[in-house]
Amino acid sequence: MSAVVTQTHYTAEEYLTLERKATIKSEFHDGQIYAMTGASRKHNLITVNIARELSQQLKQRPCEAYINDMRVKAAKARSYHYPDIAVVCGTTQFEDDYVDTLLNPTVLIEVLSPSTEAYDRGGKFAHYRKIASLREYLLVSQDEALIEHYERQGDVWVLIEAEGLAASVSLDSINCILRLSEVYDKVLDNKDAELPE
């Protein structure tokens, strides 16, 4: 998240009207609109790698995975966010007929960036925790093979860390496994090599 776009207070309806016409993405919390910044090469590679792995494992199952552009509403937090990856299993619920704002994610994943890390760990996670359907939240490092996996157990969120390319993360709520060797493919194993154009 970056700077506040304006100091004017917006309603959620005003935000959605503006957002659906905008050329850049913005997030919303409690009346304020925040412009989003772009992502690095590593961030993009990690996001695509995770989406690829989940997509393969979710085939033929009543689950859907979304990457980057599916807005998620945390109604109790009065906020809208764009997670790097959102997964929903079962009946998908959207805010309205535009079908662009997910209400009931099962898993949310954020790839950490220097400009957003503190917010992804703090305020954004606080907003996400208020989504009743959310079962798991992942914070994925760009600079080392490390995934912080938060899992809801009743009213408590339990942290399990997966570290190193030999490690894996078991996403029990959607019956998927993320192997860090796949998550960090072309990111850490050959990080100094240039990709061919």
CA 22 to chain centre: 21
pTM summary value = 0.91
Q: Residue 37: what pLDDT?
A: 86
CB–CB of 5/31 below 8 Å? no
> Residue 28 in 3-state DSSP?
strand
Taking Cα atoms as reference points, which of 160, 159, 167 lies closest to residue 184?
167
Domain parsing of the chain, residue ranges: 39-183
Residue carrying the six token digits 């016409």 = 21
Mean pLDDT by 10 residues, the chain (197 residues): 62 96 95 92 98 97 96 96 98 97 98 94 96 98 97 97 98 98 88 42
Domain 39-183 has CATH 3.90.1570.10: yes
Q: Residue 174: what pLDDT?
A: 98
What's the number of CA atoms in the CB half-sphere (13 Å) around residue 72? 32
Q: Residue 170: what pLDDT?
A: 98
Could you tell me the two tokens for 169? 């993360």
Q: Count other C-beta atoms under 10 Å from residue 145's C-beta.
A: 19
